Amino acid sequence: MPVGWRRAGGARLRFWALLALKLAAIAAVTAGVWLAIETVLPPHPGGLLSGSPRLGVDLTYTLAVFCLGLAAAALLGLCAWDQRYRCRTCARRLRMPVAEGVLSSVMLGGVPHTEYICTFGHGKLYVPDVHTTYRPAKWTRYPTLWDDLMRAEALAHQRH
Ligand SMILES: [Zn+2]
């Protein structure tokens, strides 16, 4: 297996590993806050109410669980937003946004969009400024320096 392929495959895992790490951190924080809610709030009433559900009856508990769910959803949204603007190969933040196209001249200049690049040359992300279903954001991978070198070496061998 050429060196470049191994490097690209291993680096590509970095994107998914970062996502898994962030999701695990969100799950851990949510579980920790859940445990804190369970310990801080007064215990479930006993006696006749011992079998009744706590959620929806106990106002403090219900509010705490609602806020925790809201915070967890916000964290997941932030995680997805952050992951969207990361390089699919090395998981670094995409940089240098370039806006192209103008809404007043769509026929001439194309649909307005913004392109972000990985500063290490792994690819670019096309993000349309007008949100339509037929033109979603698209990642375009550039071949690595190793791919170029391997291709040049193969061409050199063919000529001799
Ligand atoms: Zn990259």
Give tens-digit pLDDT for 78-125.
999 999 999 998 899 999 999 988 888 877 777 889 999 998 888 899
Strand, coil or helix: 35: helix
Residue 132 corresponds to which tokens in the numbers above?
């339509």
Higher per-residue confidence, 141 vs 135 = 141
Q: Which amino acid is at 51?
A: G
Regarding whether 148 and 78 lie in a shared domain, the answer is no
Q: What's the gap in Å between 130 CA and the centre of ligand 1?
A: 26
Identify whether 90 is part of a domain: no
Q: What's the gap in Å between 119 CA and the centre of ligand 1?
A: 7
Regarding whether 125 and 101 lie in a shared domain, the answer is yes
Contact between 71 and 81 (Cβ < 8 Å): no
Domains held by the chain: number: 2
Regarding whether 100 and 155 lie in a shared domain, the answer is yes
Regarding whether 101 and 149 lie in a shared domain, the answer is yes
Q: What's the gap in Å between 11 CA and the centre of ligand 1?
A: 9
Tell me which residue range forms the domain holding 17: 3-84
pTM given for the model = 0.71
User: How far apart are alpha carbons 97 and 95 in whole angstroms?
Assistant: 6
Regarding whether 13 and 79 lie in a shared domain, the answer is yes
Contact between 148 and 113 (Cβ < 8 Å): no
pLDDT on residue 1: 40
